[in-house]
Amino acid sequence: MLGSLPPAARKALAAALVLLDQGARLYPPSRGRRFARLDDRVAGAYVRALLARHDVAAEMIRRLKSVVTMCYYELPEVQREIGYDPAPYIAAVSRRRLESYGPQIRAAEAGSGDSGGSGDSGHSGHSGDSGTGQP
Amino acid sequence: MTVPSGLTRQDEVTGDLSLECGAVIVGSGAGGATVAAELAEAGVDVIVLEEGGYHPTESFTAATGRALRTLYRDGGGGMAIGHPSVLYAEGRCVGGSTVVNGGMSWRTPARVLRRWAEQEGLRAISEKDLDPYFAAIESRLSVGPQDPETIGRDSELFRRGAEAKGWAVVPNRRNQLHCAGTNNCSSGCPTGAKQSMLVTSVPRALALGARLLADCRVDRITRSGPTVTGVTGHFVRPGGARGPSLTIRARVVIVAGGAIQTPALLMRSGLRSASGQLGRNLSVHPNAVVTAFFDQDVTGWQGVHQAFQVREFLTEGLLLTATNLTPPMLAGILPSYGRELGELMADYNHIVTAGPLVSDTGTGRIRNVPGLGPLVFYQLTERDAARVQRGVELTAEALFAAGARRVLLPFDGAPEVRSLDELHRLLARPVPKRSLQLFSIHLMGTARMSEDPRRGVVGSFGEFHGVPGLFVTDASVFPGPIGINPMETVIALAMRNARQLIERRGRWAI
């Protein structure tokens, strides 16, 4: 996931991690320790103190947390642990789609051909709905 | 991977390229692909340039990281700088943002069209003028409500809550051919049911003779005097390395890179608008997410997201809907940290996420910074902050009405809320603007359309004021926010502009 960030953002991320880690030394309750050495209670208080400033440091914490947790919850074993396993579900509903609407889908796709116009999609709910964007 | 005939990727290009065509189109999303198909059908020699890669339907999975790497610009991590900052995402792939959007397809509200016509003196933009285009789009892209078996429990719960409050709820309309309900819209539709540009207008344009160069970044628009002569650019190798150069001579240049990239390209090409509006007037439709926890199993990822919209508050500029987020996306935006976040995420299958989309009154701007590219600045107004707060409150009310036990609000440091009383007490006073957590997927308005060159960047049909042969056709031309999902409006305007261009093709010799 980090590879998708632009080079400048990757550099900023590394710098932010160092700042977060070493900046903890200036937080009195940490008693000179870096962030990685803090216990959960003090580490949480340090993060909350930074967030309460509503400044660049707070924004940096938000972004760091976002990147780190996104990477963590992308791990398949972590996803399974919280009950998220989409591949079998996607396979099942994809089959259901073809079993239920196969002929209409094939007809619409064939109709799209070189003109791109699917014409009649075979949707049950499409007629009479103007979609004006109004309530 | 089978690559369609007419589409060229960076790995097929070994040396510098110099090409010629009638019309070169920058961007292959809702605006660019639509114009390409229309012009190609009329026999115009068209080349489409797309900065992103070609990723076919069979490559789409539920892996968020894969999607962010391959389908989004900068991993979907754009940020509009302000107080608060607003996170935004832009698609960057063949098919553009239509590959990763929710596929919501709504006509431009008539009141919005009226306002645009009156304020900007725009021609041929009434509801009656656009009706034929909307009808054609809806037929071609198979726009309609979901098949009932695809609707997820999160959407049902939100609908039930809103209806219990007596609010107007409408089924959402999507460009989908019997959507399977995989809930994978934002990572690319794995069945091809979503009728994005990737599976509709792009293949149509290619079949009609258009050429498409993927992995190709446009550096500048070239001119001779005031008249455009084409573009220069380069192919992008894996990892972002610069590949062979590209020069295209064209009689018409059409820019459709979206509301951030379009003004950025125009500005770095040295183009100026007499109106001073190029890069300004950015609207973002700020979104916020309320997270609700239910006793029962919701498993919101099973079934399509946003099956319904609450339109009760549209006149206040608020649209409410339920949107399931994948675990990485949800963990990324929850205003919680450490152990607390882990405990919340353990309840993932009991969560409904929903929120307001705000039709904003504030505006932002784009600035090109050498070495960094476009930077986006946006200031949320006090009025919009109040709207966000009200939208969050209404969303939470609907979720409690649906049976939620507790909700998390998108404000830094906000405590968990367990009842309506607590909710109303907490929100009795304005929440500090800086603590709002906002994001956007609707970016609009940075090359405003106006018949008056002193007010707008382009005219009624997307023609850049004062630069013959240059056109813009994407959401950047919107004179203001539209308050609903913008895709169908972008496509309708693109189709209309393309047909007007075809009528006047003699002028451009295309």
pLDDT in tens, A6-37: 777 788 888 899 999 999 999 999 999 999 99
In a domain, A123, yes or no: no
Q: What's the confidence (pLDDT) of residue A131?
A: 45
Torsion of the alpha carbons at B176, B182, B187 and B192, rounded to the nearest 10: -40
Distance in angstroms (rounded) separating the CA atoms of residues B52 and B28: 9
Contact between chains at B147 and A66 (C-beta distance less than 8 A): no
In a domain, A117, yes or no: no
Contact of B47 with B253, CB cutoff 8 Å:
no
Asked if A91 and A70 sit in the same domain, the reply is: no
In a domain, A61, yes or no: yes
| Chain B residues with CB-CB distance to A94 below 8 A | 180, 182, 190-191
Answer yes or no: is the ipTM higher than 0.85: yes
Q: What's the confidence (pLDDT) of residue A61?
A: 86
Q: What is the pTM of this model?
A: 0.94
In a domain, A16, yes or no: yes
Q: Which CATH number fits domain B7-142+185-283+442-505: 3.40.50.9100, 3.30.750.80, 3.50.50.60, 3.40.190.10?
A: 3.50.50.60
Does residue B248 carry a pLDDT above 90? yes
H helices present in A1-135, as ranges:
7-23, 40-51, 56-72, 76-81, 86-112
Which of B75, B105, B180 shows the shortest C-beta gap to A93? Answer: B180
B368 touches chain A (CB under 8 A): no
pLDDT in tens, B132-169: 999 999 999 999 999 999 999 999 999 999 999 999 99
Q: What's the confidence (pLDDT) of residue B435?
A: 87
| Chain A residues with CB-CB distance to B435 below 8 A | 54
In a domain, A120, yes or no: no
Secondary structure of chain B: what % helix, strand, coil (to 5)? 35, 25, 40
Contact between chains at B142 and A118 (C-beta distance less than 8 A): yes
Does residue B362 carry a pLDDT above 60? yes
Residue type, B65: G
Contact between chains at B77 and A123 (C-beta distance less than 8 A): no
Burial of B316 (0-12, 13-18, 19+ CB in 10 A): middle
| Chain B residues with CB-CB distance to A63 below 8 A | 79
Which of A54, A86, A119 shows the shortest C-beta gap to B435? Answer: A54
Q: Which candidate, B441, B429, B430, B414, places its Cα nearest to that of B290? A: B414
Torsion of the alpha carbons at B72, B271, B20 and B248, rounded to the nearest 10: -50
Asked if A51 and A28 sit in the same domain, the reply is: yes
Asked if A90 and A41 sit in the same domain, the reply is: no
Asked if A55 and A21 sit in the same domain, the reply is: yes
In a domain, A126, yes or no: no
The shortest C-alpha distance from A5 to chain B (Å) reads 5
State how many domains chain A has: 2
Mutate to test the interface with A, among B296, B337, B485 (most CBs of A within 10 A): B337
Residues in contact with B320: Cβ distance below 8 Å, sequence separation at least 6, in sequence order = B162, B309, B310, B312, B313, B354, B355, B356, B357, B391, B394, B395, B398
Contact between chains at A90 and B184 (C-beta distance less than 8 A): yes
For a pLDDT cut of 70, what percent of chain B falls above it?
100
| Chain A residues with CB-CB distance to B331 below 8 A | 69-70, 72-73
In a domain, A122, yes or no: no
User: Is the pLDDT higher at A120 or at B162?
Assistant: B162
Asked if A62 and A29 sit in the same domain, the reply is: yes
B470 touches chain A (CB under 8 A): no
Question: A28, A53, A74: which is the final residue of a domain?
Answer: A74
Residue type, B139: S
In a domain, A44, yes or no: yes
B442 is catalytic: yes
Q: What's the confidence (pLDDT) of residue A116?
A: 39
At the top level of CATH, the class of B148-176+287-359+381-435 is alpha beta
Q: What's the confidence (pLDDT) of residue A112?
A: 63
Distance in angstroms (rounded) separating the CA atoms of residues B292 and B180: 25
Q: Which candidate, B78, B73, B104, B70, places its Cα nearest to that of B91? A: B73
Does residue A123 carry a pLDDT above 90? no
Does residue A72 carry a pLDDT above 90? yes
Contact between chains at A79 and B170 (C-beta distance less than 8 A): no
Asked if A16 and A52 sit in the same domain, the reply is: yes
Name the residue range of residue A97's domain: 85-111
CB atoms within 10 A of CB B29: 34
Strands of the B373-378 sheet, one edge to the other: B364-369, B373-378, B78-81, B86-88, B438-440
Selecting among B55, B234, B305, B442, the annotated active-site residue is: B442
| Chain B residues with CB-CB distance to A130 below 8 A | 107
Q: Which candidate, B8, B4, B68, B2, places its Cα nearest to that of B214? A: B8
Contact between chains at B182 and A101 (C-beta distance less than 8 A): no
Q: Where are the domains of chain B?
A: 7-142+185-283+442-505, 148-176+287-359+381-435
